[in-house]
Structure 1
Amino acid sequence: MNASLKPNGPKTRASAVIDVQKLLDEQPVGRFQILVLMMCMVIVTLDGLDTVMIGFIAPALSGAWAIPRDALGPVMSGGLLGLAFGALCAGPLADRFGRKTVMTIAVLFFGVWSLGSAFASNVTELTVLRFLTGLGLGASMPNAATLMAEYAPQRCRALMVTTVFCGFTLGAAGGGFVSAWLIAAYGWHSVLILGGVLPILYVPLMIKWLPESARYLSLKETRRARLVRVLNRIQPDMADEATRFVAQDTQQRERSPVRLILSRDYVFGTVMLWICYFAGLLTVYLLGSWLPTLIRGAGFTLGQAAIVGALFQAGGTIGSLAIGWLMDRLNPHRVLGATVFVGGVFAWYMGLPGHGITGIGMLAFGMGYCMNGSNTGFCALAAGSYPTRMRATGTSWMFGIGRFGGIAGAMLGASMLHANWGFGEVLTALAVPATVGAAAVLLKGARHRGSVLRVEGSASH
């Protein structure tokens, strides 16, 4: 007689049949899920610290090496390219070898190369080292989203994934304060050393405490012993060597995950996710790179420009949590489509003349809420749009394609300023990628009306 194990119910022994996906979806959020959330959030926080630190040390570097700041452009681009290629490579590897395995190697990788970057002696060396660092950074973040999505119960999955990604802004903001003190006290090398030592020290904790994805382990019988150990961490004596496991995600397992996300059943949703995230990161990187400069060029003070930039980032943190909460309760495609479109409206309105610094600050907060927050929401949407056998690849490839949007955004902003575009013209132009992104996510939702982050075992996304 088959009996599915119920959470918090009587312990079922050797004759039990456990539907792993159903079990994890019905399991209450307890210490185990909170542990996964916190450990993944630390990984994303370290990512945030390491990703932005080169911007913090740029003034000190240009002074120490007696070069203009724009000479560090290849260093910035090298890191961003590394992020893109790291994400593209990491997904298929994680779907083959496991989320924990790839994440652990990635964190060690970017820690080692960040440490090595501290000893670079010229722009060329630092560019190569930042590219290598970016490979590790790009591989770790999307897999953190994947692992969290695979342990979060269905009812709060989007919120838990977006909470993990709040670690990025935490790491970026904390990095600013720490960098200012370290550079003044010990020089620019110390910031890169810190960015390398912290991930390296975190690796043993990941090996000991971070679990491999139970959904990933359930796909193959050869992983049974590891799956039993993980499930017994969630609830003691939940499974043993005689327990039978049921995985709903069993079709087409022999095909490569890259081919699967581009197969007939998934290609439309995949391309729409790429367009959404590309347009979203184009907007955010353009604003993140150039908003303070634009504010300063509009006649406001340097201090006011810094405040506006901070409000944009703060809006993103709050937006990430709020949008994740809404996605768990409403249609996630409509939530994201409406949010991205409103962000474009804020940008257009901010570009109109006549705003004081208070109005600009409020609009910057709103843009951060909509644009930064929705980009985090896309991470949750991607993780929920693919079954286990291809989830890491689908999520990571969205990250990788999106990073090219980030590169394009930074370059586009520079080109606009070089062409003497004014504050209003640049902000008004941002309504275009926002409209494109909103349309793409709404089209994906219209195509897949029945798929609201409930895709495991389904075949049309």
Structure 2
Amino acid sequence: MTAANVIDVQQFINRHRFSRTQIVTLLLCFLIVAVDGFDTASIGFIAPAIGRQWALDPAHMAPVFGAGMFGLMIGALCFGPVADRIGRKTTLMVCVGFFGLASLASAWSPDLQTLLVLRFLTGLGLGGAMPNAITLSSEYAPDRHRSVLVTTMFCGFTLGSALGGILAAYIVAHWGWHGVLLVGGIVPLAMVPLLGWLLPESVRYMVARGHGAAKIGRILRRIAPAADLSGATYTVADKAPPGSPVRQLFDPRLRRGTVILWAMFFMCMLIIYLLSSWLPTLIKNTGRSLQDASLVTAMFQVGGTVGAIALGRFMDRFNPARVLSLAYIVGAVFIALIGHAAGSSTPLLVLAVFVAGFCASGGQVGGNALAAGFYPTANRATGVAWALGMGRIGSILGSMAGGWMLTAGLSLATVFEIVAVPAVVASVCVLFMQKRKD
């Protein structure tokens, strides 16, 4: 066997045209995170209907949101290491089927306690699916386009959230809140056989775990049918540190980046969930109508979608850590500006909210690509999942922090100046992110 017969699978992906297999992989991952977005948005629309039926006030309904978010955090922490042991495709199928069954069962919840348990279980599956969709997308993307492909794939979450709000309102009006949970269960369950049929396992994972050359060759031929793979053996350039996937996160080559990514994800998701949860209320308190407040808040999501794709392109062309650092510091300026513009200029307020979404929400999606590119194949799913898990802690605190600040009676300008601080911290943290040295 000569050196010419040894094929680095990432270099193989880099050399060949983007194939139909890779497009299908990204589309399926897009659909998975879209279902996640649907679930995240729709629960907010069905909560009032559940409250009316069971005679519950908002304080009693709050744990429904908390249970799902807690499940998302635990699911990310648990299923990331699982995927590095048994594979991305298998874990994705298990997680999608799991949250589909849990959502389906939620539709027949007889009381709040049962719903809380099932929402937690739904969150477990969703929390495990998202980081594995990011990981698999990253491992089928050529290096030169990895960031923009991962960030574009993740825009499925935004689309799913938008559709979740629209469809949930229609379904509740015609079939009640149970119908929304039925849709949230049936769609992912229908996707499981589709994933089994069309979704390939990560070839980088297969090489790292010592799978047979024949299996790896069959997948690579789907990417480049004309390639000569006869007698080839396969390798990946990145070397795995010793220990379990979780322990590897703190290997000397990785621990600095791990801590930085955790801090960045925590800060970004704190901002995103605080603004998503409380921006309509804060804007309405300035005297604007709820409709106007909702439309202004929608610009945060629009900005996030545009920002995800734009920042992904910049991350592929320039130093990705510096691109994100600049985005977060600009985001901090415009988050603070929201508080000063909310009581005066509507055009300035719309601009501030849009740019805040572009930088904060778009930057978080870029952070997913940064994490996927930082970790080696052997613990990539764990690295991405645990970063998202740390971010979920920030999202829980962010969802509650708006209420605390409103209760404290702070001025609107002061509230948004405080919210800008985590963006500054994220900017400083990621500025010190270094490329991993194998």
1:124 aligned to 2:124?
no
Aligned equivalent of 1:300, options 271, 276, 288: 288
Counterpart contact for 2:213–2:233, Cα < 8 Å: no
- Equivalent position of 1:263 in the other structure: 251
Query: Which structure is higher in helix share?
Result: 2
- Which residue in 2 is equivalent to 1:184? 173
Match of 1:347 in 2: 335
Where does 1:44-443 land on structure 2 (aligned, <5 Å)?
44-236=33-225, 238=227, 242-252=231-241, 254-352=242-340, 355-443=344-432
Structure 1: distance between partners of 2:256 and 2:240? 19
Equivalents in 2 of 1:267, 1:94: separation in Å? 20
CA RMSD of aligned residues (A): 1.5
CA distance in 2, matches of 1:344, 1:216: 38
Could you list the per-position Cα deviations for residues 146-180 of structure 1 after superposition, in whole angstroms to 9, with x for gaps in the alignment? Answer: 00111100000000000011000100000111111
- Quick one: structure 1 residues 241 and 255, their matched pair in 2 at CA, closer, same or farther if it must change by over 3 Å? farther
Which stretch shows the higher mean deviation, 144-153 or 48-57? Answer: 48-57
Matched residues, number: 437
Q: 280-289 or 226-235: which moved more?
A: 226-235
> Which residue of structure 2 lines up, in the alignment, with residue 9 of structure 1?
none
Deviation of 1:420 after TM superposition, in Å, equals 2.3
SS at 2:150 equivalent: helix
Percent identical among aligned pairs is: 46
Q: Which residue of 1 aligns with 2:29?
A: 40
> What CA distance in whole angstroms lies between the structure 1 residues aligned with 2:54 and 2:379?
46
Question: How far has the Cα of 1:404 moved from its partner?
Answer: 0.5
Displacement of 1:3 in angstroms is: 5.8
CA contact (8 A) 1:99 1:147 kept: yes
How many angstroms does 1:27 deviate by? 2.3
Aligned counterparts of 1:122 and 1:361: Cα–Cα separation in 2: 41
Instruction: Give 3-state SS (helix, strand or coil) of 2:225's partner.
Output: coil
2-side partners of 1:220 and 1:239: how far apart? 23
Give the Cα–Cα distance (whole angstroms) in 1 for the partners of residues 228 and 101 of structure 2. 38
Contact 1:28 1:153 in 2 (8 A): no
Q: Which amino acid aligns with 1:62?
A: G
- State the secondary structure of the residue aligned to 1:236: coil
Deviation of 1:223 (Å)? 3.8
Tell me by how many angstroms 1:307 deviates: 0.5
Per-residue CA deviation, residues 196-236 of structure 1 (Å, 9 max, x unaligned), is: 00000000000000000000001133443321221121122
Checking the alignment, whether the CA contact within 8 Å between 1:218 and 1:227 is kept in structure 2 is: yes
Cα distance, 1:264–1:355 mapped onto 2, change above 3 Å: same
| Alpha-carbon contact 2:16-2:224 (below 8 Å) kept | no
Q: Identify which range, 44-53 or 222-231, moves more after superposition.
A: 222-231
CA-CA distance at 1:240 after TM superposition: 5.8
User: What amino acid maps onto 2:261 in structure 1?
Assistant: L
Report the AA paired with residue 220 of structure 1.
Answer: R
1:30 corresponds to: 19
Q: Which whole-Å CA distance do the structure 2 matches of 1:297 and 1:30 have between them?
A: 51
Q: CA deviation at 1:422?
A: 3.2
- The 3-state SS of whatever aligns with 2:101 is helix
Q: Which amino acid aligns with 2:320?
A: P
8 Å CA contact retained: 2:269, 2:395: yes
Please give the alpha-carbon distance, in whole angstroms, between the structure 2 residues aligned to 1:330 and 1:33.
Answer: 24
The residue identity in structure 2 corresponding to 1:338 is: L
Give the C-alpha shift of residue 239 in structure 1.
Answer: 6.2
Letter in 1 for 2:335: A
Report the 3-state secondary structure (helix = DSSP H, G, I; strand = E; otherwise coil) of the residue aligned with 1:18.
strand
- For the residues of structure 1 that align with 2:211 and 2:97, how far apart are their CA atoms? 27
* Alpha-carbon separation, structure 1, partners of 2:240 and 2:357: 40
Alignment check: 8 A CA contact 1:231 1:239 kept: no
| Partner AA of 1:319 in structure 2 | G
Structure 2 counterpart SS, 1:245: strand
Structure 1 CA distance for aligned equivalents of residues 47 and 412 of structure 2: 25
Shift of 1:248: 2.0
Q: Deviation digits for residues 274-327 of structure 1, max 9, x if unmatched?
A: 000100000000000000000001111111101111111111000000000000
Under a length normalisation based on structure 2, what TM-score does the superposition of the two structures give? 0.97
Measured in 1, the distance between the counterparts of 2:387 and 2:212 equals 28
Which ranges in structure 2 are unaligned for 5 or more consecutive residues?
A: none
Runs (5+) with no aligned partner, structure 1: 5-15
| AA of the residue aligned to 1:309 | T
Q: Match for 2:185: what amino acid? A: G
User: What TM-score, normalized to structure 1?
Assistant: 0.92
Q: Distance in 2 between matches of 1:422 and 1:308?
A: 20
